[in-house]
Structure 1
Amino acid sequence: MFKPALALVAALTLPTLALADDDDDKPGMGLAGLLSASNKQDLPPITLSAGMPLAEAPWRLKSGTYYEFEIQGDGSQELALVGPEFFRAIWIDEIVVEGLEIRPLGLDSVEFDEAGEMEIGFIALKPGSYYLKVPGSTGETQRLEIVIE
C-alpha cells in the first residue's frame, strides 16, 4: 500500500528537484523562459519626424532574446516604417498603441498619420541582416540597419 504511494511522491518530486539546479555557470531563463524578465532588453526608440534620423545607431540583436522598442511619430509629416524581412525574422508578442494591445500574426509596416507613439515587443528569431526604413526614402538616416546574431 505504501510502496505505490511512495513511488508516486518520488515521481512527482524528482523532476521538480532537477529544475532547482545550483549550477551558476548556466544562464537561467526563469519560469517564463523566453518571456521572462531576465531575457528582456529595451532598445532605443525610433523617431518618425520629417528630415530627422530614425535612430542614432544600428541595432545588434541576439536570437532568442525578448526586445521592446518605441516608435515615436511627431506628426510633422505622414510617415511609415517598412521592413517586411525584419518582421518575418521575429515573433511579435504585442504592439501597444495608447493602451490598446494588439497581438498580430504578422506585420509588414506601420504608419503614423498624426503624432503618436507605439511600443512593439518581440523575440528575435532568424539570424541575418535586416532593416526598417521610411518607404521611398534613399538617405541613410531614414534607414535603421539591424543584425540578428
Structure 2
Amino acid sequence: MAAGLAIACAGAWDSRPASARGDLATRAQRLEPLIMGSTEDDFTLSQREYRLETGRYYRWRIASAGRREYNLVAPEFWRNVWIRQVAVGKTEIKTGILEELDFDDVGEVEVFFVPVRTGNFTFRVRGLEERGMTGNLIVE
C-alpha cells in the first residue's frame, strides 16, 4: 500500500520551477488606497482597477470616508490570495480568508496579502453596484 502511494505521488511530481513573479523576501508593496465615498459624494471609489502579480507581497489600505455603511466584498479574489494579516489600528488579525469588510462609519483597515492565482477578480460594495461602486483586481 505504501509503495503504491509513493509511486502515485512520484508520478504527480512536477520538476518545473515555480513561476511566481514577486519576491517575498522584500517588504510589502503598497497599493494605492481604496477609499469608499467622500465628503462630496457617498458613491465614489478612489480606485477602480488594480494590477497585481502572483507571488508579490502587497499592503492594501481600504477606507471609508463617507457617511454611509459600506460592505466591500471580493469573494473570488480573497479565495485566491494568501492573507498574512488584517490590521485595524494597532490590532493585527491573523486569518486565512476574508468574506467582506464592513464599515459602519469612517474608518480604515490594511490587508497584507500575496496573490497565488492569476485572473480578473471583481470587488464591489454590496448593494451599491448600480451606483458604480465596483472595480477589478487583475492578477498576472
Give the TM bin, normalised by the shorter chain.
0.7 to 0.9
The yes-or-no answer on 1:80 pairing with 2:68 is: no
Task: Evaluate the alpha carbon distance shift between residue 113 and residue 35 of structure 1 in structure 2; reply closer, same or farther with a 3 A threshold.
Answer: farther
Paired-residue identity, %: 31
Alignment of 1:51 onto 2:43: yes
Tell which structure's C-alpha radius of gyration is larger.
Answer: 1
Q: Report the CA distance shift for 1:51/1:140 in structure 2 as closer, same or farther (over 3 A).
A: closer
The residue that corresponds to 1:42 in the other structure is 30
1:120 aligns with 2:83: no
In 2: Cα distance, 1:140 partner to 1:56 partner? 15
Q: Give the TM-score normalised by structure 2.
A: 0.75
Paired with 1:35 and 1:95, the residues of 2 have a C-alpha distance of 19
**CA–CA separation in structure 1 for the residues paired with 2:22 and 2:71:** 38
Measure, in 1, the Cα distance between the counterparts of 2:22 and 2:65. 40
Tell me which residue corresponds to 1:9. none
Over 3 Å counting, the alpha-carbon distance change for 1:106 and 1:99 in structure 2 is same
The count of corresponding residues between Structure 1 and Structure 2 is: 116
Gaps of 5+ in 2: 1-20
**Residue 108 (structure 1) shift:** 1.0
Give the TM-score of the pair, scaled to structure 1: 0.71
Paired residue for 2:139?
148
Alignment of 1:1-149 (within 5 A): 29=23, 34-37=24-27, 40-49=28-37, 50-52=42-44, 54-139=45-130, 141-149=132-140
Contact kept, 8 Å, 1:63 with 1:124, in 2: the verdict is: yes
